[in-house]
Amino acid sequence: MDGDGLALSKRRITLSTSGVVPMMARAGEEIGVNLAVSLHAVSKEVRDEIVPINRKYGLEELLAACAAYPGASNARRITFEYVMLKDKNDSDEDARELIRLIKQHKLPAKVNLIPFNPWPGAIYECSTPERIRRFSEIVFEAGISAPVRTPRGRDIDAACGQLKTAAKKMSRAELDRLAEEKQAALG
């Protein structure tokens, strides 16, 4: 934001957090940028599993900090990131609870629905496109914007920051043994 740097307007910068509650108000007061929160669940149990910091700063404490965030308004809504996990956080009841929480705390909010990008060995699956669409419709019908983020990079396992390789990692001993076997076969 500094004039000697990139000189970006604070309205063009978004601070993203999983919920480090004590620093949110300070960040809002000192730098005054937009806020994005990795919410991903509407119950303590599920959020504890998906977003471990929830065990330290719970859902209610997080939402209260969002409600108190300096500068949040309908013109500068808080963005809630919500990854869609099949049978974990994607039910109609989850959508209704999300609406209830946003309205209870009177949050000027937008919800980005993010299709989960699985990788080999992932314990979660992505919600079906129909389930994601229905979740979005329920939230939208309550007057809250809920766009579905278009997944990019799935073909190279890079969507949603999940750059991984499908190749099997081999230990040094396995690599040495393969090299010895190859040498013996040539030899």
DSSP codes, 52-108: GGGGTS-HHHHHHHHHT-TT-SSSSPEEEEEEEBTTTT-SHHHHHHHHHHHHHTT--
The answer to whether residue 182 is domain-embedded is no
The answer to whether residue 121 is domain-embedded is yes
The answer to whether residue 74 is domain-embedded is yes
The answer to whether residue 1 is domain-embedded is no
The answer to whether residue 184 is domain-embedded is no
The answer to whether residue 163 is domain-embedded is no
Q: Using CA atoms, how far apart are residues 175 and 165, in angstroms rounded to an integer?
A: 18
Which tokens hold the place of 157? 């396992």
Confidence at residue 147, expressed as pLDDT on a 0 to 100 scale: 96
Which tokens hold the place of 166? 């499908």
Mean pLDDT for each consecutive 10-residue tract of the chain (187 residues)?
57 77 86 88 96 95 94 86 97 98 97 94 95 98 94 51 47 69 65
The answer to whether residue 137 is domain-embedded is yes
Q: Using CA atoms, how far apart are residues 14 and 112, in angstroms rounded to an integer?
A: 14
Query: Is the distance from CB of 94 to CB of 135 less than 8 angstroms?
Result: yes
* Exposure b/e, 134-153, CB count within 10 A at least 16 = b: bbbebbeeeebebebbeeee
* Domain coverage including residue 71: 10-153
Confidence at residue 110, expressed as pLDDT on a 0 to 100 scale: 96
Confidence at residue 93, expressed as pLDDT on a 0 to 100 scale: 98
The domain total for the chain is: 1
The answer to whether residue 173 is domain-embedded is no
**Domain CATH code at residue 147:** 3.20.20.70
> Position of tokens 């949603």?
160
